[in-house]
Amino acid sequence: MRPLNSDTNYALGRTSHETTRLIEQSKIYGKATLRLCERAGISTGMRVLDIGSGAGDVALTVAELVGKSGQVVGVDVNPAILETARQRAADTGKSNVEFIAGDARTINFDEKFDALVGRFVLMYMSDPVAALTKLIPHLKPGGIVAFQEPEYTLYPAYQHPDTPLMNQLYQWIIEVFEHSGAHLDQGMGMYRTFIDAGLPAPQMHLQSPIGAEEKWRGYRYMATIFQSLLPLIEKYEIATPEEVGVETLSERLRAEVLLSKKPFFLPLHVTAHACLTD
Ligand SMILES: C[S@@+](CC[C@H](N)C(=O)[O-])C[C@H]1O[C@@H](n2cnc3c(N)ncnc32)[C@H](O)[C@@H]1O
């Protein structure tokens, strides 16, 4: 078991660009998050804890779901990004959500929660099982646990010889996350994470947004991932900025997809949910 303070280097950085990228990402993965929360049983009046809130997208989605009689508490280790989350909550008139800065694994809360949610966060924690084990005591009996995490290890099964740029991009993503210590298999790994943390076997779904149309937002989104990853790609000497070519990446990707007629898929993600036994 790795100590809590040996977390991965957050490969995507802490810039304002990364905050914008998270908001853009939510436009792509947000519907799956909503479906996960609904399937998991999150509903009106519940009190929900969101781990690794970032710019607040999951917390804001859940705030809608639990309504005015419910409450959402979002936690993030990065205090700066929570300023954006708070502003977005205020802008949308959501008074049932609050954000707290700190490490979700060590914060104490006055009241227990009906549900615990998180998106794209366990993969960055040194030991996801230890993290979940620390978080579960904040739940009431019968409480819900719902996470959505990416899965990169299945990528080789999807390679097409006529989409070399797509192949190269996934290769770089895998290399940079490997160097940073992130869990590339956290999506599929959630089964083990849940079981080893003492939860019942989770219900799981594997999904990926895919697209091939000319105006698909996925090409630009992929370029924003590389803009965030570039500092570490350079630091680990995986590729040079010229080789990555962030400025033209979206266009080159679109051209490759249109030519190959093979849909481009964004990082696969897995949702998992379970309930504590009473
Ligand atoms: C990829 S972002 C995802 C943000 C948000 N869940 C979303 O889907 O838009 C991961 C977030 O988790 C936060 N994080 C990582 N480890 C954390 C921890 N131990 N406690 C609280 N937040 C953490 C990071 O600061 C970052 O903002």
Architecture of domain 4-275: 3-Layer(aba) Sandwich (3.40)
Structure tokens at 278: 């009473």
135 Cα–ligand 1 center, Å: 15
Residue 1: is its pLDDT beyond 60? no
Residue nearest to ligand 1 atom 1, measured at CA: 120
Residue whose CA is at the smallest distance from ligand 1 atom 19: 103
> What single string gives the DSSP state of each residue in 191-232?
HHHHHHTTPPPPEEEEE--EE-STT-THHHHHHHHHHHHHHH
How many Å is the maximal CA-CA distance in the chain?
Answer: 57
219-269 residue pLDDT tens? 999 999 999 999 999 999 999 999 999 999 999 999 999 999 988 889 999
- Tally of residues, the chain: 278
Please tell me if the CB atom of residue 126 comes closer than 6 angstroms to any atom of ligand 1.
no
What pTM does this model have?
Answer: 0.93
**Average pLDDT over the chain, rounded to an integer:** 93
